[in-house]
Structure 1
Amino acid sequence: MKKEFNIPIAFTTDVNAAAYGEYVAGAGKGLSSCVYYTIGTGVGAGAIQTGSFIEGFSHPEMGHMIVKRHPDDSFEGSCPFHRDCLEGMAAGPTIEKRAGKKGQEVAEDDPIWTIEAYYVAQAAYNTTLMLAPDVIILGGGVMKQRHMLPKVHHEFEKLVNGYVKIPPLEQYIVTPALEDDPGTIGCLALAKNELQKL
């Protein structure tokens, strides 16, 4: 692309871009750090500390962290690499495989959602203990189910069990302030950063 277009170009992952969008203009605005998860067709996450992505030899693959199986969950997992990692147990397609229908067709009181919340809460729990970000943002199609966030809060509180002091959950574990647009806004913000370097 640089060969064809003589313009500044920034590269990152889709979920990093969404994290950056929320960091500069959404739920992470004005904070020093944030972690953004997308829970949809797959599960991925981006982490930002003082304006920079947290990464080393490569970008993080938080969607493939190992999670403890819910006692009532007999689903074997759908990740082709790890079977029952976070993505294998919590991505949108696993809901459909468990229920035999798409997530938006599953009733709010179906026990599947408690199982789903348990896995998502584990991601937030692990993130809290490893990175202690100012905010954890849960995006993606699964989190468009408005009843999911309170369930995640409930499961998260049980997992933490008073071990660490955390901010009020309504401010700490949230859905995207930018709704469907954090990735687009993040890309534009990253492009703007490149232009400012000229």
Structure 2
Amino acid sequence: MAGRSLFAGVELGGTKSIAVLAAGRDILERQVVATTTPDATLGALATTLERWTREHPIAGLGIASFGPIQLDAAADDHGHMLATPKPGWSHAPVAPVLTRAFPGPWALDTDVNGAALAEYDWGAGKGCRSLWYLTLGTGVGGGLVVDGRAVHGAMHPEIGHLKLRRAPGDTFAGACPFHGDCVEGLISGPALAGLFEGDPAKVGDDDPRWDHVAHTLAELVGVLLLTTSADRVLIGGGIAIARRQLLPRVRAKVLERLESYLPFVTPSSVDRIIAAPALGADAGPLGAVALAIRAAERTP
């Protein structure tokens, strides 16, 4: 590790959380903890970060968290979770706990914005000007990067709570406690458990209900392409990684729904535009590292 700047990152996920110590994109150490209560989860991650801080000179810390989370540095609750469907996590002090013993620069963003930055820097987004990273897991989220910067506004994108056209014959009520049959309410992990009335991992790819999932995902991708004209949409997360058959179905449905309206989305380009992340399951933790590197670069 001599001569290489070290960075620490935390990917806070809905089911598990990962702390990493890295030199660039090379992960040197990794600590995985279950995401249970805020006190237990954040406390375990903070203990790991404090140990690394004692043992190494760390140039920057990045926190890539599930949301919604307060990203406005001027807000009194900066770094705190906002109202979230995850039980017990609303208003949890994510950044205050994780940065309590870190003396250097740090940055906070959503897990999907972090993953989008990692794919932009090192993965399937290299060479793109703009890209979306979508994650299908405990929740459904999306991060947009344009010219190397994650897009923020009043907060961060919450594309998982869009309500879009339902598939014909899809009568599932949805599982989102806020919006019922929004995208997250239809195709997140808890939603799929409701749709399939059990563990979706035990359901075969030929089950017709997967076509409803592909329809919802294609509706979402089509909306993102129409509204942002992104160069690429990467579909990651545990569900997408486990169900590779979804990606070709989504591509076909996007082509069908757009009906040649977008000249850059064609049968010959759609495989490149709608793709899997190149970094796989490491897109999330490397997203935290990408945030840490940017935090260090912004500090004189």
TM-aligned CA deviation for residue 94 of structure 1: 1.8
Matched, 1:95 2:184: no
Match of 2:250? 152
Match of 1:19? 116
TM-aligned CA deviation for residue 166 of structure 1: 2.5
Aligned amino acid, residue 33 of structure 1: S
- Partners of 1:42 and 1:3 in 2: how far apart? 28
Higher relative contact order (CA 8 A, sep 6+): 1
- Partners of 2:126 and 2:284 in 1: how far apart? 15
Match of 2:146? 49
- Partners of 1:141 and 1:103 in 2: how far apart? 12
Matched, 1:177 2:274: no
Matched, 1:68 2:165: yes
Moved over 4 A (4+): none
TM-aligned CA deviation for residue 3 of structure 1: 6.0
SS of equivalent residue, structure 1 residue 12: strand
Matched, 1:120 2:217: yes
Task: Give the total of aligned pairs.
Answer: 198
TM-aligned CA deviation for residue 29 of structure 1: 1.2
Match of 1:166? 264
Q: Deviations over 1:34-85 (max 9, x none)?
A: 1001011110010010011111111110111111111111101111111011
- Partners of 1:194 and 1:138 in 2: how far apart? 26
TM-aligned CA deviation for residue 102 of structure 1: 1.8
TM-aligned CA deviation for residue 4 of structure 1: 3.7
Match of 2:19? none
- Partners of 1:41 and 1:131 in 2: how far apart? 25
Backbone CA RMSD of aligned residues: 1.3
Match of 1:187? 288
Residues 137 and 174, structure 1, Cα contact 8 Å, conserved in 2? yes
Residues 137 and 175, structure 1, Cα contact 8 Å, conserved in 2? yes
- Partners of 1:129 and 1:174 in 2: how far apart? 17
User: TM (normalized to structure 1)?
Assistant: 0.95
SS of equivalent residue, structure 1 residue 137: strand
Match of 2:81? none
SS of equivalent residue, structure 1 residue 15: helix
TM-aligned CA deviation for residue 101 of structure 1: 2.5
User: TM (normalized to structure 2)?
Assistant: 0.64
SS of equivalent residue, structure 2 residue 131: strand
- Partners of 1:48 and 1:59 in 2: how far apart? 12
- Partners of 2:127 and 2:256 in 1: how far apart? 29
Aligned amino acid, residue 120 of structure 2: Y
SS of equivalent residue, structure 1 residue 11: strand
- Partners of 1:78 and 1:100 in 2: how far apart? 12
Aligned amino acid, residue 83 of structure 1: G
Alignment gaps of 5+ in structure 1: none
Residues 95 and 112, structure 1, Cα contact 8 Å, conserved in 2? no
**Aligned residues with identical type, % of pairs:** 37
Q: By percentage of residues, which structure has more helix?
A: 1
Q: Tell which structure's C-alpha radius of gyration is larger.
A: 2
Aligned amino acid, residue 154 of structure 1: A
Alignment gaps of 5+ in structure 2: 1-95
Residues 111 and 287, structure 2, Cα contact 8 Å, conserved in 1? no
SS of equivalent residue, structure 1 residue 184: helix
